[in-house]
């Protein structure tokens, strides 16, 4: 490690982008790792505590009731970064899901395949206490406090598994194409559709309720500012979800979302993923509109490898 970098990392514990343990795992090509709990510093626990406690009021006002129930079911300690083993002890008996520690970005086919096996790739680092509000990378607060409480709900958990099925269907479709440029073109389009659908539901979804709109998307549930903005701001467009719109709608990740989609229930969401898969099989995801998100090389390779392509 270079001198300046070593100095920067000293005492950083498991802070996002400054954790020597993670850098080493990445350098060695290890994606699935352990959670070396003893490496968390007091500053890391302090960051968790501040993030968690300031969300309490926001969650009770804006979050979907299933999420609130999930927070209770997981018995998360507001004062300490959670141990994944403890989280899993409460989570697994409910839906079979487990949080699985990873060292960084999981290429998309592998990510969806983990969901199919009821494993949720989970970041173990935590953001620096000086930048509580904005972080381009996921961290353990986003993954455990934003995503995992929803995984305690059976219909939601089953929906995630269906995303994994969709990724397998995509790989199967690509395996049936002989021409390599056409394979790449097809997987790029299907990937955009899947990623957009995931973004506008699992990450940023809204749901109707007798008390008005509630949040179930994890990107909103882990953001102190955006959770309120998503529901209250006149600057956000909120529309009933339509599959043909969502799969063609680009998104940007570096600012509050100007457009959000509403589902009626978790059963509705589950049915939509089924519809997405039927559309994929019928060729209706083969020519979605260009634009974000871009398909990275590892994403593309992960699908091609799964399809058995060389
Ligand atoms: Fe996320």
> Would you give per-residue pLDDT tens digits along the chain (310 residues)?
444 455 455 678 999 999 999 999 999 999 999 999 999 999 999 999 999 999 999 999 999 999 999 999 999 999 999 999 999 999 999 999 999 999 999 999 999 999 999 999 999 999 998 888 877 789 999 999 999 999 999 999 999 999 999 999 999 999 999 899 999 999 999 999 999 999 999 999 999 999 999 999 999 999 999 999 999 999 999 999 999 999 999 998 889 999 999 999 999 999 999 999 999 999 999 999 999 999 999 999 999 999 986 4
Sign of CA dihedral 100, 103, 104, 107: negative
122 CA distance to ligand 1 centroid (A)? 9
49 CA distance to ligand 1 centroid (A)? 20
Contact 103, 22 (CB under 8 A): yes
Cα(207)–Cα(199) distance, rounded to whole angstroms? 14
142 CA distance to ligand 1 centroid (A)? 6
Sign of CA dihedral 108, 189, 257, 215: negative
Q: What is the pLDDT of residue 135?
A: 76
Burial 211-230 (b: 16+ CB within 10 A, else e): eebbbbbbbbbbbeebbbeb
Cα(201)–Cα(275) distance, rounded to whole angstroms? 14
Q: What is the pLDDT of residue 254?
A: 87
Q: At what angle do helices 108-116 and 297-306 cross, to 10 degrees?
A: 50
Cα(119)–Cα(204) distance, rounded to whole angstroms? 21
| DSSP bridge pairs for 121 | 100
Chain-centroid distance of CA 95 in Å reads 18
Contact 110, 303 (CB under 8 A): no
Q: What is the pLDDT of residue 298?
A: 94
Q: Spell out the residues 6+ positions from residue 264 whose beta carbon is closer than 8 angstroms to its own.
A: 207, 208
76-79, long-range: CB within 8 Å, 24+ apart, which pairs?
76/52, 76/144, 76/145, 78/49, 78/52, 78/53, 79/45, 79/48, 79/49
Contact 19, 104 (CB under 8 A): no
7 CA distance to ligand 1 centroid (A)? 30
Who surrounds ion ligand 1 at CB < 5 A?
218
Residue 181 neighbours by CB distance under 10 Å: 8
115 CA distance to ligand 1 centroid (A)? 13
144 CA distance to ligand 1 centroid (A)? 10
């Amino acid at each position: 490690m270079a001198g300046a970098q070593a100095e920067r990392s000293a005492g950083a514990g498991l802070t996002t982008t400054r954790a020597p343990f993670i850098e080493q795992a990445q350098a060695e090509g290890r994606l699935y790792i352990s959670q070396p709990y003893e490496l968390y510093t007091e500053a890391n626990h302090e960051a968790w505590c501040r993030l968690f406690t300031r969300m309490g009021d926001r969650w009770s006002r804006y979050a979907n009731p299933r999420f609130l129930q999930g927070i209770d079911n997981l018995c998360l300690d507001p004062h300490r970064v959670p141990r994944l083993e403890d989280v899993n002890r409460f989570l697994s008996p409910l839906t079979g899901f487990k949080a699985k520690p990873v060292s960084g970005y999981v290429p998309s086919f592998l990510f969806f395949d983990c969901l199919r096996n009821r494993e949720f790739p989970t970041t173990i680092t935590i953001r620096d206490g000086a930048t509580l509000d904005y972080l381009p990378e996921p961290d353990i607060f986003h993954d455990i406090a934003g995503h995992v409480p929803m995984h305690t709900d059976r219909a939601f958990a089953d929906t995630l598994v269906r995303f994994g099925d969709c990724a397998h269907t995509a790989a199967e479709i690509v395996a049936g194409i002989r021409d390599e440029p056409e394979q790449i073109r097809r997987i790029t389009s299907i990937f955009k559709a899947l990623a957009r659908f995931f973004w506008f539901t699992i990450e940023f979804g809204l749901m109707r309720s007798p008390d008005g709109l509630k949040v179930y998307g994890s990107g909103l549930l882990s953001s102190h500012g955006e959770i309120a903005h998503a529901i209250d701001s006149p600057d956000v467009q909120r529309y009933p979800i339509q599959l043909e719109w969502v799969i063609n709608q680009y998104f940007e990740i570096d600012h509050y979302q100007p457009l959000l989609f509403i589902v009626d229930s978790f059963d509705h969401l589950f049915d939509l993923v089924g519809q997405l898969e039927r559309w994929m099989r019928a060729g209706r995801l083969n020519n979605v509109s260009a634009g974000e998100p871009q398909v990275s090389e590892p994403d593309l390779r992960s699908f091609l490898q799964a399809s058995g392509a060389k």
